[in-house]
Amino acid sequence: MPHQRFPKIEIISSAPQEIQFILSDTDTSMANALRRIMIGETPTLAIDLVEFHENSTVLNDEYIAHRLGMIPIRYQAPDSFK
């Protein structure tokens, strides 16, 4: 653990929606912390509320609502439309 407090980051490329970099001279806990921060700061969309009028399947409502919430939803900001 000699390098855990002074990591080095070399930026390979940068764009508005992505960045590529090399993280070195650190341990895996620092890399994992950085990964968790990036995931936490990424805006996401999900289905939150589901109303069923009639469910004639063998699957219960909560199971279907949970599965719908797991579907990844792509989002494009309205100001990026041309």
Q: Tens digits of per-residue pLDDT, 12-65?
A: 999 988 899 999 988 898 899 999 998 888 877 888 899 999 999 999 999 999
Q: What is the pTM of this model?
A: 0.55
Contact 11, 19 (CB under 8 A): yes
Q: Identify the pLDDT of residue 66.
A: 93
pLDDT confidence bin for 2, thresholds 50/70/90: low
Which residues pair with residue 81 across a beta bridge? none
In this prediction, residue 48 carries a pLDDT of 84
Q: What is the pLDDT of residue 21?
A: 94
